Structure 1
Amino acid sequence: MTIYEKLEKLKSNIKSFQRVAIAFSGGVDSCFLLKVAADVLGNDVVAITAHSSTYPERELNEAIEFAKSYSIKHRIIVSEELEVEGFSDNPVNRCYLCKNELYEKIKEIAKEEGVHYILEGSNVDDLGDFRPGMKAVSEHGVLSPLKDAELTKEEIRLLSKELGLKSWNKQAFACLSSRFPYGEKITHERLRMIDRAEQLLLDLGFKQVRVRFHKDIARIEISQDQFEKIIASEIREKIYEEFKNIGFMYTTLDLKGYRTGSLNEGLTEDKKINN
């Protein structure tokens, strides 16, 4: 299928649902899904965003602004993952624990809104990584129309640009818990450290960033085309000093650069299958 045939398939599928709730993070995929759904269904769409310590204020504010700009009904719920039993221990199935809690709460809101279908923004590229959260999507009967329409991340960005969405070139984002190696304890304090460190890099003009937590070591992942910028003496020293103030004794640059799911690279296949 061409990209436009996929778009028409997406619209047709959404139209058949008549009224939907969308798990809305404010990322590239969920912004695109929400806008298309609003175009197709009008007021029969409600966006639901979960706020927690793993979700930076900047992301919440951008989600609020996006929904408001298109006059889309927007509900914000509190879903504090650190209160979910076992989550803070950061097991391999951490994402399942999170999504299971999230969709339980979204289902409650959907019921209040008289909605029978809940949608989320996974695309076909997400099939290539270890994502235990998709088990919760399946168990709760949540639908993934972007994936069903066979849309890729790049196609979603292109279509978002054509629709005039500011989110079309937004950096990829995953919850802050994904910065910790499995088994490394997740706490409010550590999440704040990661949030402050990544915000500093964003403020310095780095576009796609991750700061991975390795106890007293911060491992920075950025796009390889920005390596030259980060090793410039003035910026390098500023990052080192600020990260030390945040609480990191050592700061390192990952020479492979930014990539999604880098902390899954050490997982064996049996661990993936069993989670």
Structure 2
Amino acid sequence: MSNRERCVETDANRLIDWFAKLGDVAVAFSGGVDSSVVAAAAQRCPSIHAIAVTARSPSLSQRQLDVAVRVAHQIGIEHRVIDTGEIDNADYRRNDGRRCFHCKATLYQSMATILNQFPGMTTVSGTNHDDLGDYRPGLEAAGAAGVQTPLSDLGMTKVDVRGLAKHFGLTNYDLPAAPCLASRVAYGTEVTTERLGRIEAAEAWLQQHGFDELRVRLHDGELARVEVPKHRIADLIQLDRDEEMTKAFLGFGFRFVTVDTRGLRSGNLNQMLVSIQSNFKPAVTGDPLDVTGESPN
């Protein structure tokens, strides 16, 4: 066994032992790598009962829900899918930089109804140590709800988590991160069911055309800003040589489409929060390359 393998095995045992000290848990389970590792470790702890809870809402793509169902089945953990109503909250829809707080607050309130069936059960999340360095108001909601964070408590980073996912044999260990669809909507632009559906359709179309790592960001005026890794930008532009992508996106309800020449940058919309707090509307930043015009509508 290599030193790296020994380190991963040690981390796995540390994580499993963490659950033994806490007791029964409900994992806020998105099907992403972080929450999957937490669920897998909890399920491997013989002294506790663990369940996984997935929030179904317009901000969760069908593809990600399918991944969550599949991975939960692979782990063998009891899996509950609950409907959450954050889209009905005007504060969430306003999307003023606190959207994630209102989303997570709704999630944990909804999970509380399940916890009533399991006295003494604690909610845990997949927050890792690296998450603590980004703007994440959802962590405030988690703290207020008493949510525990085993990965960050143990100092485990994104790299550590990927290693653990592979160690546990999870089929999603190498899948790209898949934040909720609402995270694609520029701050200051209202989050609506229609816009979330538009983003989901556009990203699904690109995935069907061979792009796995991508984001379709939505800005004011129904502008779609497409991000793919830099080495795939030429492929994306080639795909649209006959305006194939453009026509598809206009059909989904976008009015403009642009390709961001800086490439895929996770969480880059957080950079706009300074403008929001200064009472300015967010604008498309950087040096994007326009590849289409305006829809007839």
Length-normalised TM-score, structure 1: 0.92
Measured after TM superposition, the shift of residue 55 of structure 1 is: 0.6
**1:195 alignment counterpart:** 200
For the Cα contact (< 8 Å) 1:224–1:257, is it kept in 2?
Answer: yes
Letter in 2 for 1:58: R
Greater shift after overlay, 106-115 or 182-191? 106-115
Give aligned-pair identity as a percent: 34
Match of 1:165 among 154, 170, 179: 170
Question: Structure 1 residues 245-254 or 18-27, which shifts more?
Answer: 245-254
Amino acid at match of 1:91: D
Q: Judging changes above 3 Å, is the alpha-carbon distance between structure 1 residues 216 and 27 closer, same or farther for their aligned structure 2 residues?
A: same
Query: CA, structure 1 residues 168+236, in 2 after alignment: closer, same or farther (shift >3 Å)?
Result: farther
2-side partners of 1:9 and 1:236: how far apart?
54
* Deviation of 1:106 (Å): 0.9
Question: What is residue 142 of structure 1 aligned with on the other side?
Answer: 147
Q: Is the 8 A contact 2:86 2:103 kept in 1?
A: yes
Q: 2:79 aligns with which of 74, 78, 81?
A: 74
1:230 counterpart = 2:230: no
Aligned residue number for residue 67 of structure 2: 62
- How far did 1:247 drift? 1.6
Taking the aligned partners of 2:150 and 2:37, their CA distance within structure 1 comes to 11
- What does residue 22 of structure 2 align with? 17
Once the 2 structures are TM-superposed, how far is the Cα of residue 266 of structure 1 from its aligned partner?
A: 2.2
1:142 aligned counterpart, secondary structure: coil
Which aligned pairs between 1:122-133 and structure 2 lie closer than 5 A? 122-133=127-138
Displacement after TM superposition at 1:236 (Å): 6.7
2:222/2:255 contact within 8 Å kept:
yes
Following superposition, the deviation at residue 113 of structure 1 comes to 2.2
Matches of 2:276 and 2:242, distance apart in 1: 40
| Amino acid paired to 1:40 | C
**Is residue 221 from structure 1 mapped to residue 227 from structure 2 by the alignment?**
yes
Alpha-carbon distance in structure 1 between the residues aligned to 2:176 and 2:241: 21
Superimposed CA distance per residue, residues 51-106 of structure 1 (whole angstroms, 9 cap, x where no aligned partner): 00111111112111221233311111110211123211112111111111110111
Question: Partner amino acid for 2:229?
Answer: S
Per the TM alignment, residue 235 of structure 1 is displaced from its structure 2 partner at its CA by 6.6
> Which has the higher mean CA deviation after the structures are superposed, 13-22 or 137-146?
13-22
RMSD between aligned residues: 2.2
Contact 1:91 1:183 in 2 (8 A): yes
**3-state SS, counterpart of residue 168 of structure 1:** coil
1:267 maps to which residue?
A: 273
Residue 83 of structure 1 aligns with which residue?
88
Q: 8 Å contact 1:32–1:160 — kept in the other structure?
A: yes
Contact 1:29–1:156, Cα closer than 8 Å, also in 2: yes
- Give SS of 1:167's match: coil
The code of the aligned residue for 2:201 comes to R
Counterpart position of 2:264? 258
Maintained 8 Å contact 2:26/2:124: yes
Any stretches of 5+ residues in structure 1 without a counterpart? none
Unaligned runs of 5+ residues in structure 2 are 1-5, 278-297
Counterpart residue type for residue 88 of structure 1: R
Query: For the residues of structure 1 that align with 2:168 and 2:7, how far apart are their CA atoms?
Result: 17
Q: How far 1:114 sits from its partner (Å)?
A: 2.7
2:38 is aligned with 1:28: no
Cα distance in structure 2, aligned partners of 1:39 and 1:151: 18
Q: Which is higher, the Rg of structure 1 or of structure 2?
A: 2
| Partner deviation per Cα, 1:186-212 (whole Å, 9 max, x = no partner) | 111111110100111111111111101
Count of residue pairs the alignment pairs up: 272
Shift of 1:156: 1.0
How big is the shift at 1:233?
4.7
> In the alignment, which residue of structure 2 is the partner of 1:209?
214
Verify the 8 A CA contact 1:122 1:144 in the aligned structure 2: yes
Given residue 23 of structure 2, which amino acid in structure 1 is its aligned partner?
A: Q
Tell me the SS of whatever aligns to 2:243. helix
- For 2:240 and 2:182, the matched residues in 1 are separated by 30
Which residue in 1 is equivalent to 2:289?
none
